[in-house]
Amino acid sequence: MKFKLFEKLASLEGLDLIMLIIAAALFVVILFIAVRYRQKLENRTNKINTTRALVYGALCLTLSFVLSYIKLFSMPLGGSITLASMLPLMMYASAFGPFYGFAAAFAYSLLQIIQGAWIVHPVQFILDYFVAFTCLGLPSLFRDKLTLGVIVAGFARMLVSTVSGAIFFADSGLDYGFANPWTYSFLYNMLTIGVDTLICAGFSLVPAIKKLQKNMC
């Protein structure tokens, strides 16, 4: 797909422009939360063992990355349903808080790029990888409610990817008979990220998973 760097962005208006701004604002909020909690973290270093946090972070990142290769179903343009690949990372975020959670989520976005990035535009690349996957750190804001955190994080990632899909993959929707790019993008991401999120939420309700998450801290 051919594109010029700012051609697509310059042509945005109406709902497309509003949703892109919302996605960008979400990323700014995530960065602000991470920085803000980093300051609080410095005042309570005795409560979180840095070495423990780093070790668990490495383990959860590795587990999420490995599980992302276990694809139960794959869609065109890179979408897939995995065996709860987001859950270890979300559990880590919920256990260790925003700074470590968002840092690990951002690191995971880099691993996803290494795994194989689908790029048609620089802004699409940022939305689908850096913004969408960093949203997986949101369970850190729901430290005593893992399932709620999983649902919120999964929905946020789906929202960002829906915006990206509607703006940058509208032509693909036409190929499948969808005249409205937002309908196509929502359904596409609901069938991939949405289902993936439900699988993670289901596993998060298992008592053994809850106990493991609490024992991380």
Q: Look up the CATH number of the domain holding residue 44.
A: 1.10.1760.20
The pair of structure tokens assigned to 8 is 């697509």
**How many whole angstroms separate alpha carbon 12 and alpha carbon 14?**
7
Residue 37 confidence (pLDDT): 61
What average pLDDT does the chain have?
82
Domain ranges, residue 201:
11-216
- pLDDT tens digits along 150-201: 999 999 999 999 999 898 888 877 777 788 889 999 999 999 999 999 999 9
Q: In this structure, is residue 208 part of a structural domain?
A: yes
Identify the helix (H) or strand (E) that includes residue 82.
strand 80-82
Q: In this structure, is residue 4 part of a structural domain?
A: no
Q: In this structure, is residue 84 part of a structural domain?
A: yes
Q: In this structure, is residue 6 part of a structural domain?
A: no
Q: 129 exposed, middle or buried (CB, 10 Å; 0-12, 13-18, 19+)?
A: buried
Number of independent structural domains in the chain: 1
Confidence (pTM) = 0.79
**How many whole angstroms separate alpha carbon 129 and alpha carbon 89?**
15
Question: By three-state DSSP, how is residue 179 classified?
Answer: coil
Question: By three-state DSSP, how is residue 71 classified?
Answer: strand
Q: In this structure, is residue 199 part of a structural domain?
A: yes
Residue 104 and residue 34 in contact, taking contact as beta carbons nearer than 8 Å:
no
Q: In this structure, is residue 193 part of a structural domain?
A: yes
- pLDDT tens digits along 88-102: 999 999 999 888 999
Q: In this structure, is residue 5 part of a structural domain?
A: no
- pLDDT tens digits along 68-95: 988 888 877 667 899 999 999 999 999 9
Residue 61's pLDDT band, with cuts at 50, 70 and 90, is very high
Q: Is the pLDDT of residue 212 over 80?
A: yes
Q: In this structure, is residue 42 part of a structural domain?
A: yes
Residue 109 and residue 126 in contact, taking contact as beta carbons nearer than 8 Å:
no
